[in-house]
Structure 1
């Protein structure tokens, strides 16, 4: 039976990721919460009817805010959304847009936006029937919120724009909504502004990037443990007697996981006193990654469950502020991008070491006994990906331009920060998959393979079908892709296992 999720309750970034990729999940809003939202809405409407001032309801938008609007209905038509729907590029993946819809429903359920409860109910209904707006990839500045991408979601709620159903059929929103028995929104005070003036899209992309960072961390623990065994790196380097001397719980946790994976290994080379940094400092490098990731997770979780609207209805009046400003997500995503650099450089050095006959302790050049280049080009690909990542790591937060006639005189760029971090995580998984392939192939060539740990043995044996008829039927790039799929599954399994062991992750 598919789980039913109450979107009026707190969500984590993992929840957002898992619910957005699993279209069998269904959502609802608790009836008691809907009644509370209805009461808030009625208070808000009385406030407006009594002459209360509210940005975007009784005033213009942006630099036009000084213009009074005599009738709120004038601003509740599709024209405003059409003017904000200024995106370019390919459409975002469905799961990213689903994530934004999930987060928007969660944020609006807090009640501070004072929207008609049907806005939230409609979001839930579209999610449950898997009708997802088509949203261009580029255009958001993360202030005032994710105006551009969220406008496409707004248009669809009003029956305009393009959507895609669960079968991949694309069409106009009103047509597909009617086919599924869904009634579009009708223009009412403030609703459209609350739908677009928020950080939901930045937070969705950030949730996906952060979850993939979790998977990357676990993947690097897996691949580095195989490399350790392939090179017979001394286990004392990872002893908790050593890592426990530094006051970082993250370092201790990574060390515990590594030792758990290597627990029953009897691989040993007494001639190695101190291995190369790329092997010896694995717990420290991955521990630092984990330490930063804990902070990123916390920031993303807080954003998901915060009111990021402007204006908001608090204590009976409409007040303006800056909660739409995505700076927390922006800084978190720029930081996340930086966190993965050293672990990936370390992967490159390990792969280089394993392929180099001058460094790999008895393995053939590029792991081939034949007169060909074997796996030499694997490290070329890593080098190329690292170069791409080095360009993407440049912070989005350090460049900003004034907009809206300088009423919005600097912006957060949270959305771009999240997008490039998401791309980095995908490229990083390609790098991890290459280490998985190379280190496993190297370990299979070692006479001590049978002495390796049972977990490492299982990781390596998962790749045996990939190694069969290597280069006869598949290119090296295709082998990378196969390795990535297997590693993605293994890291997901290990992550879920570690989640149950609170002391380990």
Structure 2
């Protein structure tokens, strides 16, 4: 399957497909734009004027002129010297996105590269021969230099790449396996390849997709907890949310109404319940998760724009000029990642409070720690502690990274975005959130069973049945960790998220 995308007009749905395995096909005509940009670059080079990164050094060395005979060596040395990353390799899904984003950016024609550079990026993506890229080493300004250098080394037959079977090849062997030859870089091509925000943007987009799925899952587990605690659906009445007018709140309230519609558990206590109001973790789900949804959609808008952007430097612009600027500064991506971090932390914090409620017999009316014969059995006592630990860790990780800056390149690059670190930290945060929701799924399913033979709504019962395919009810104490792992695997797919009617 291929995603046909006009350069500069990609949508997140198409990028999700590419992340998940689709190849990228650029719409017809992109080669003409690239050829026009290349002609402009050659004309500027022929003028003899100093052109940053083309016939000069880089960063603090920008005033150093490079002899014409060394221009190709300049670009190759740039890739080699800047491949200074460290840490674990980036996930394959992120590399797929980064390759696509870099190809789309170069295809805009403002970077001065040859068509074959773009074609090789597309070929690596199509054959799933993905460069090995260490995750650490970018501060999110002057572009994601180190990770993009590692990615780009494969194009010149250096570095390494790994195929779908896990076989790692040297760069030249990787190119041979997909029918390509190593490139000899032309003027500016090395700089165009490693200058840009594609890695930080790919990390943030990948995190956005996971966060969207987990937000949906949190509404499902939240609805299950409402029924398990015999809570009220009145707080989700549309008239309440219309009076405030916050769009995310309105949408999440509607989703919760849909998830609880038809619940016999709810109907059993609709009248005569002495409780007037539920605790906030049940009652205020639309206000909290809806605000998170609004933040995530703002982040999505920023990231979709960045996915379509040209972010290297200098740039060939209308009128045939080569202009130096700062599109490589990833401040928008850093802000988007920090926004996602806030949402992820808050979704998990609210879910942890629901777990605590379910395990507290005073608040829930259920057996203590959701197990009969308490005392000899501890039930969900420590599972709630685990959820609390994960929520606490996410609160620390949610501190904004965009407010930090470390001057680099002998103070030439004196303010940086830290966007790559901001996006990288979303992965462990999402893993933590998935763990919290897995524990809530287990706890809420256990709570619902104390109300049998009454049933919950159709979507809640579907989720309950899906969990019970892998995890038995908690009749007496056993190892809890395998149950949490099984619930996490269920959440990792789209099966539960698909049950949530989030219009």
Return the match for 2:275 from 251, 272, 275: 272
Contact 2:157/2:182 (8 A) holds in 1: yes
Q: Higher mean Cα deviation, 268-277 or 454-463?
A: 268-277
Shift of 1:311: 0.5
State the match for 2:15 in structure 1: 16
Contact 2:459/2:499 (8 A) holds in 1: no
Shift of 1:364: 4.1
Return the match for 1:443 from 439, 448, 462: 448
Shift of 1:471: 8.7
Shift of 1:9: 5.3
State the match for 1:424 in structure 2: 429
2:174 and 2:404 map into 1 onto residues whose CA distance is 41
Return the match for 2:210 from 209, 212, 216: 212
State the match for 2:121 in structure 1: 123
Residue 489 of structure 2 is aligned to residue 485 of structure 1? yes
Contact 1:14/1:207 (8 A) holds in 2: no
State the match for 2:131 in structure 1: 133
Shift of 1:318: 0.8
Deviations for 1:115-147, whole angstroms, at most 9, x for unmatched residues? Answer: 111111110011111111101110001110100
2:72 and 2:154 map into 1 onto residues whose CA distance is 20
SS at match of 1:490: coil
Shift of 1:469: 7.3
State the match for 1:357 in structure 2: 361
Deviations for 1:372-409, whole angstroms, at most 9, x for unmatched residues? Answer: 11111110111111222122112211221111111001
State the match for 2:90 in structure 1: 92
Shift of 1:348: 1.4
State the match for 1:404 in structure 2: 409
Q: Higher mean Cα deviation, 45-54 or 314-323?
A: 45-54
In the superposition, the TM-score normalised over structure 2's length comes to 0.94
Shift of 1:487: 2.6
1:425 and 1:164 map into 2 onto residues whose CA distance is 25
State the match for 2:246 in structure 1: 248
Deviations for 1:211-237, whole angstroms, at most 9, x for unmatched residues? Answer: 111112101100000001111111111
Contact 2:98/2:202 (8 A) holds in 1: yes
1:66 and 1:486 map into 2 onto residues whose CA distance is 57
State the match for 1:464 in structure 2: 468
Residue 182 of structure 2 is aligned to residue 184 of structure 1? yes
Deviations for 1:246-295, whole angstroms, at most 9, x for unmatched residues? Answer: 02111111111111111212314222211111111111111111111111
Shift of 1:437: 0.9
Shift of 1:60: 0.9
Distance 1:201 1:239, change over 3 A: same
1:369 and 1:116 map into 2 onto residues whose CA distance is 72
Q: Give structure 1 stretches of 5+ with no counterpart.
A: 499-503
Deviations for 1:23-74, whole angstroms, at most 9, x for unmatched residues? Answer: xx22223342212321221222122122243210021100000111121625
In the superposition, the TM-score normalised over structure 1's length comes to 0.93
Q: Give structure 2 stretches of 5+ with no counterpart.
A: none
Contact 2:197/2:328 (8 A) holds in 1: yes
SS at match of 1:359: helix
Return the match for 2:145 from 138, 144, 147: 147
